[in-house]
Structures are given as C-alpha cells and as structure tokens.
Amino acid sequence: MQTPWWKEAVVYQIYPRSFMDSNGDGIGDLNGITSKLDYLKELGIDVIWMSPVYQSPNDDNGYDISDYQAIMDEFGTMEDFDRLLSEAHKRGLRIVMDLVVNHTSDEHAWFVESRKGKEGPYADFYIWRDGKADGSEPNNWGSCFSGSAWQFDEGRGQYYLHLFSKKQPDLNWDNPKVRDKVFQMMAWWCDKGIDGFRMDVISMISKTANMPDGKANGGLYGDFGPYCVHGPNVHQYLREMNERVLSRYDLMTVGETSGVTPEQACLYAGTDTHELNMVFQFEHVDPKGKYGKWDDRKMPLVTLKKILSKWQEELYGKAWNSLFWDNHDQPRAVSRFGDDRPQYRVRSAKMLATCLHMMQGTPYIYQGEELGMTNYPFKSPDEFRDIESVHAYEEWCESGRVSHEEFWPCIAAISRDNARTPFQWDDSPNGGFTKGTPWILVNPNYREINAQAALKDPDSVFHYYQKLIALRKQYPVIVHGKYRLLLEDDPDLFVYTREFEGEKLLVVCSFTEEEREISLPEEFKEAQCLIGNYPDLGDEGKEKRLVRPYEAFVYFLRQ
C-alpha cells in the first residue's frame, strides 16, 4: 500500500496575526504570508496549517467566526487568499485550514437569527436552555475562558451554552441542518483546492441531552467535561462528515481532541474508522497544578517519557500520531521543555527538535520554533492580549483568591501570548514584523534571535530543523519505525530506538545541563551518526559515551 502524503509530511503552523504584516497596520496578514513562502520552502516543510483567517470580531483572535466564507478584513481579501493558495501550490506547499465549528461568533448570521426567538429556521442552531426556577443558569458549568458557560439572552429569554467566551456560542450538532450547513461550507473550501483541515476542539461537538451540574474542579464552577467532551454522537457526526465531505477529496485532517486517550484516538483516527487522519493529544502539555492549567513547574522527564512513549506504542499500526511541543495555545517549547538561558538556548532547542522529529508521527513546527524563539518576559497583566489570560488573571487574582506574587509566575509562564508575540524576521525595529505599531509586544530578544541571523549561521536552529526534515525524506525508518523506549527511569536522558525493515535508529537526548555517561547498546558501537547538536561526535565508538549538556544525537544502522 502506498503511504499517504500526510504521513511523510512535516507541518508548519502559522498564526497569521503574528507572522508577517505587509501593510504596516501592525497586524500580520495573508500577503505577509505569501511574501514568506520561499522562507518556508527553504526550511523544507510540506504543509502549512493556518490558524483561522475568516471574518471575525476577534474576541478570540479569529476562533470566533462570523462568516466562514469570507476573509477577515485585517488579513486581506478572498483574492489575497486565492493568490496565497496558488503561490503555495506552485512551490509544492499545501495549505490546511483551521475549521472552527464547535461554535461560531455571536455575530454570525445564524446566531443573530437564533437569538430572535424560539421559532424560525435558525432557532435550533445553538444550545438554548431555560434558566432554573429562580432565573439562574441552567447548571454550574464553567467556560474554558472563566466565568459561567451560560449566557442569558434578553431577546430570547433563555440561556445559550458557550464552552469558550460568551461571544462563542456552541452550535447544536444534533440539528441535521447545522451539519448540512457546515458540510456545505467545508465542501466549498475543498472545491477551492485547499488541502485539509485542522479541526478546532472537534471532540466537543456532541453534548449529552441531559445537562446536570458538573463536579467542582478546583475553580469556582463545575466541569462540563463528562457531558461535552467525546460526547455521545461525536463519532457518528465525524463519520458523516467523512462520508459527505472528507472522503471526496485528497485531504489531511487533524482533530484537536483535548483529554483524548489512545483508545479514543484509535476511534477518531483509526486506520479504518473513516473519521480523521490523526488527532492532537495534550497530555504532555496539560499541567494540573494548584491553579489548574496555570502551573510553572517543569514536568519531570520520567513522566514526559511515559506519556509520549505510551502514545508511540499504543497507536502503532492502529492510528497515526501528531507530534508537537508547542502551538498558538502553549508557551514556547524551548522555554518550557528546554533551557532558554543564552548559553543553552540553541543547544536545547535542537535537542528538543531531535527528540520530537525522530518519533513516529507527523511533526508540527510552530512558527518561530525553528529559530528557538522564547517566552516573552511579561511584567504585568496589561501586557496580555489573550482573552484567556486576561480573564484568568481576573478570576484568580483580582477576585482576591490568590496573591499576584503567587499567581504571576504561573500565568506568565503558561500564557498563550508567549507564542503569539510577532515572528522575528530580522534585527530592524519590531523584528521586521511590521513597519507600524505591532498589535502585541515584540520580544526584545529579536536583535539576536531572528530569521535573518539564523539563515546566515550554518549552526543555527533553523539549519538544524532543515536537516531533520531532510532526513525524514531520506530514511523510511523515521516515518515508519517501531518505537522502543530505553532507560525509562533515567531522570535526565530520553533515549529510544526505532526499527523498520532492517533499519535501526538510536536517539539520545539529554534534558539536563549536567554531563552524563551512558553505555550505548552493543549493536550501535559502529553505527553511523546521522545528526547531532555538537560540532564533534564526542567519544564515538567507545563503550561508555559522555553525554554533554543538552546533547542530542542519532545513530543509524542497516542490518
């Protein structure tokens, strides 16, 4: 059987608002992306996933869509989009669109109609409930962006459900007309020639009919999880989507499925379940500390290895992994999992890249990761632009529950705005991102960390990613090999092998600034080194090998 292209591909995620501004209004845009396609081609990626570019009032930076078939004014026009798509295709790059259909914006025409009353063609497009006898919310669920998940609408005299902000009402997928509309819209984009969809919180589209109070989970509200995540009809709806739309085109599909287990992933993205090609799981980036996700502690390496290895092993031959360290909702990889101090930043960024790109699955690079871009040194909550961070600070701190001193390091380390500061193109003002005033602060380290400097330096993180991507094209074992973890209890070293049709890899990654010694497995003593993040190979061939701070290397042998 021929390997589908998305299994061999490397995906690059663009957050359009922060990638490249072409007209000086301080906001990244489509023409900005088009102007940088050659840069992406040079990196060697195959697929671009763009965070939403549709018309949106921007309550959640485009994840609140008011028209699925129009482009956000700030990002350009549909002509700009068509040009971007054709310029990408000319270069052999594919474009995957973000599909946000768990909810729309409250400014979407469907919602504007729906809130008018209980009659009418759109009355049932959203999830409406009466309040309790005393007029309070139908239940105690909290939204992901703080506060209640219910909002009362005066016009309709009912509450609507919003698992995210109150400007993001949840669609009612049990209504077949909603599914018709969504599938028609998807087909319209496919007919334009796009190459796939990344499906936003797709595991939340089906809710239970009965909506009891949720368990209090540390915060002020109850947890909607058991009633809204991996709900009763989610697989039925995805199979229907597959049959009616996806299977008719040559697409790549990836579902955002927070809280998913490997078993569930095998349903969403099983080789023969006819739903999606792959899913994102979040166990390795999902801290559960005293303040929920706001937790600045590093996950112990042994735990990280256990999680990632479980996914490598349990999906093998049954479903396909998506590999990522960060995205537009997560802090920067090198700051979170590596070491962003100047003496270790480049080395540890390359180590993380090695660790991820040698695993089984499709790797995703988040914009700027290939430069080793770091978290932003946030000093105060008014620097945040992200609705989630702004509300979380209010709910935890301004309410007096936690002191600023206690909470600040947690939110500063985890805030989604860390990933959303502008891409650093060069050392000119604003990192070359805009000639105007950027919509969000630019990381002051742009003078050292930028694409122009990286392209000039043969030892840069950029060139290392380029090499990793090229290796994937050359060695089938990187795409297909069976994974095995070694040294599972070692607190500092992440060591694993891959094996496929007589080819074998040994991957060694150090997550510490200490020197460590390891004995290489016998068979790798004479093996060839494919890539490493130190200029020399260290004491190769010897029985014991010194592993230097944040060192990574990969050995290859053919039996």
Burial of 123 (0-12, 13-18, 19+ CB in 10 A): middle
CB of 144 to ligand GLC, least distance (A): 7
Q: Which does 164 bind (CB under 5 to 8 A by kind): Ca ion, ligand GLC, none?
A: ligand GLC
Respond yes or no: is residue 383 known to be catalytic: no
Q: Which does 25 bind (CB under 5 to 8 A by kind): ligand GLC, Ca ion, none?
A: Ca ion
Select 144 or 346, whichever has its Cβ closest to ligand GLC. 144
CB of 212 to ligand GLC, least distance (A): 24
Examine residue 23 and tell whether it contacts Ca ion (CB under 5 A): yes
Question: Which positions ≥6 away from 232 have C-beta within 8 Å?
Answer: 206, 208
Distances (CA, A) of 389 to 261, 329, 394, 408: 27, 11, 9, 11
User: Whose CB is nearest to ligand GLC?
Assistant: 63
Examine residue 329 and tell whether it contacts ligand GLC (CB under 6 A): yes
What are the residues facing 497 on neighbouring strands? Answer: 484, 506
| DSSP strands (E only) in 218-317 | 252-256, 278-280
Examine residue 320 and tell whether it contacts ligand GLC (CB under 6 A): no
Examine residue 462 and tell whether it contacts ligand GLC (CB under 6 A): no
Examine residue 370 and tell whether it contacts Ca ion (CB under 5 A): no
Respond yes or no: is residue 256 known to be catalytic: yes
Total of residues contacting ligand GLC (CB under 6 A): 9
3-state secondary structure of 233: coil
Report the 3 state secondary structure along 190-204: HHHCCCEEEECCHHH
Distances (CA, A) of 510 to 287, 443, 490, 535: 22, 27, 10, 16
Query: What DSSP letter does each residue of 147-172 carry, written as one string?
Result: SBSEEEETTTTEEEE-SS-TTSPBB-
Assign residue 201 a region (left: φ > 0; alpha: ψ between -120 and 50; beta: otherwise).
left
Examine residue 100 and tell whether it contacts ligand GLC (CB under 6 A): yes
Q: Which does 200 bind (CB under 5 to 8 A by kind): ligand GLC, Ca ion, none?
A: ligand GLC
Burial of 246 (0-12, 13-18, 19+ CB in 10 A): buried
CB of 470 to ligand GLC, least distance (A): 29
Examine residue 540 and tell whether it contacts Ca ion (CB under 5 A): no
Examine residue 365 and tell whether it contacts ligand GLC (CB under 6 A): no
Instruction: From the candidates 29, 200, 295, 386, give the one annotated as an active-site residue.
Output: 200
Selected range binding Ca ion among 17-25, 156-164, 452-460, 535-543, rule: CB under 5 A:
17-25
In this chain, which of 9, 27, 186, 365 binds Ca ion, going by CB under 5 A? 27
Footprint on this chain of ligand GLC (rule: CB under 6 A)? 60, 63, 100, 164, 200-201, 256, 328-329
Footprint on this chain of Ca ion (rule: CB under 5 A)? 21, 23, 25, 27, 29
Q: Which residues are catalytic?
A: 200, 256
